[in-house]
Amino acid sequence: MAPSFDAGALDSSDAALGVVLDGGLSACPAGMALVAGDYCTEVDQSCKKSWYAKWNDKTICLEFDAPTKCRGRKVPKRYCVDRYEYPNRPGVRPTVMNDFPQAQRLCAEQGKRVCTETEWTMACEGPEAKPYPYGYVRDATICRGDQSGVEPEAEGKDHRGIAFYRFASKDRKVRATELERLWQGVPSGSQPKCVSDYGVYDMPGNADELAAAEAPESKFDNVTTGGPWRLGVRNQCRPKIYTHNEGFAYYYLSFRCCAEPDGKPTDPRAPKQIRRKEKWTGGKLPVRDSWDGDPMPDPEPHR
């Protein structure tokens, strides 16, 4: 059965908030960080030194001028964000191979939602809107990046001659073996310096992440953000990829969840779904394997 969303079911009890600090209720559930401040809609992050990754058509900035200058509007925000990628547990691998509706379901099961693109950016940049959570000079040893040499293998080709890959095989053993071969990341929370000023870990580098699109001109309900462990990718806080649709899942793609603060109910829908007045239908059953030691179910058989 799909998880339901009942705004009236949430309250401000200790159990709902999950943590008590200094004798008072925390603004966020356990395992989440509070992000509160102004988000800058347009920043001037001037690059001083860069190189060009020809195979990926990306200019990789190695150093930015400091400090960042805000050229746009400042929008006040206050929300809770998971400190780590799903399943939000330090010491385990981030879960990969879930598309956007699957990520939405997993967040909704915890009374949360997939973070929006601006929430993700703000949690990564910190109050100073830094290009990297740790500062202005790129360092792939701080946030796992610039790995090379492991490429996905095709399992076959479809009727159009387009390859489909072993990491997405219908055979669980085949895909598990391939996902293990491709893995070049590190467990969540194992990079002590890869943390933003808001206390959120592993945002650029390591696994790439899904976020909910907000701009009306965005073609899809989701974006990808942060960048994975691969060489020649963005691995910054602000850049986003807008070309992947809601069914996109990949061997290095993860996500994290956000929620409203202060015990307020959280709508699991993405901003564009809300604007379209779509009803929450529960997302989609996760079908790939998790790396947290608790395998997700395969699709339920058709009846």
Q: What is the pLDDT of residues 146-198, one digit of tens each?
A: 999 899 999 999 889 888 999 999 888 898 899 999 999 999 999 999 999 99
Segment 200-213 mean pLDDT = 97
Please check whether residues 205 and 234 belong to one and the same domain. yes
User: Is residue 23 domain-resident?
Assistant: no
CA distances from 184 to 123, 151, 229, 260, 289 (A): 24, 11, 7, 33, 17
CA distance 5 to 20: 25
Question: Does residue 254 sit in helix, strand or coil?
Answer: strand
> Does residue 252 belong to any structural domain of this protein?
yes
**Cα distances (angstroms) measured from residue 284 to each of 100, 275, 291, 299:** 9, 20, 19, 10
Per-residue pLDDT band at 286 (split at 50, 70, 90): confident
Q: Which domain holds residue 179?
A: 148-183
Q: Is the pLDDT of residue 287 over 80?
A: no
Assigned domain for 141 exists: yes
At residue 271, φ and ψ (nearest 5 deg) are -55, -40
pLDDT in tens, 98-127: 999 999 999 999 999 999 999 999 999 999
Same domain, 133 and 239: yes
Q: Which 3 state secondary structure label does DSSP give 237?
A: coil
**Is residue 189 domain-shared with residue 213, that is, in the same domain?**
yes
What's the rounded mean pLDDT across residues 235-249? 96
Give domain status of residue 18, yes or no.
no
φ/ψ (deg, to 5) at 173: -65, -40
Say if residue 261 is in the same domain as residue 136. yes
Alpha-helical runs (H) found in 135-220: 172-182
Q: Are residues 168 and 43 located together in one domain of the fold? A: no
126 and 208 part of one domain: yes
Q: Both 55 and 116 in a single domain?
A: yes
Look at residue 43 and tell me if it is in a domain.
Answer: yes
**Whether residues 219 and 257 fall in one domain:** yes
Residue 21 in any domain: the answer is: no
Would you state the structure tokens that stand for residue 280, as one six-digit string? 């929450």
The domain tally of the chain equals 2
pLDDT for 274 equals 97
Q: Is the confidence at residue 10, as pLDDT, over 50?
A: no
Is 214 a member of any domain?
yes
Instruction: Note whether 75 and 210 are same-domain residues.
Output: yes
| Residues 6+ positions from 197 with CB-CB distance below 8 Å | 126, 127, 128, 130, 133
Same domain, 120 and 214: yes
For residue 288, being part of any structural domain is answered with: no
From 254, 189, 190, 126, select the one nearest 134 (Cα to Cα): 126
Give the residue from 163, 183, 203 where a domain finishes: 183
Q: What is the CATH number of the domain that holds 229?
A: 3.90.1580.10
Q: Does 88 lie in the same domain as 46?
A: yes
The verdict on 130 and 174 lying in the same domain is no
Q: Report the percentage of the chain scoring pLDDT > 70.
A: 86
Q: What do you get for the CA distance between the two ends of the chain, in Å? A: 15
Helices (H), 50-159: 100-108, 117-125
Residue 13 has φ and ψ, to the nearest 5°, of: -75, 165
- 288 pLDDT band (50/70/90 cuts)? low
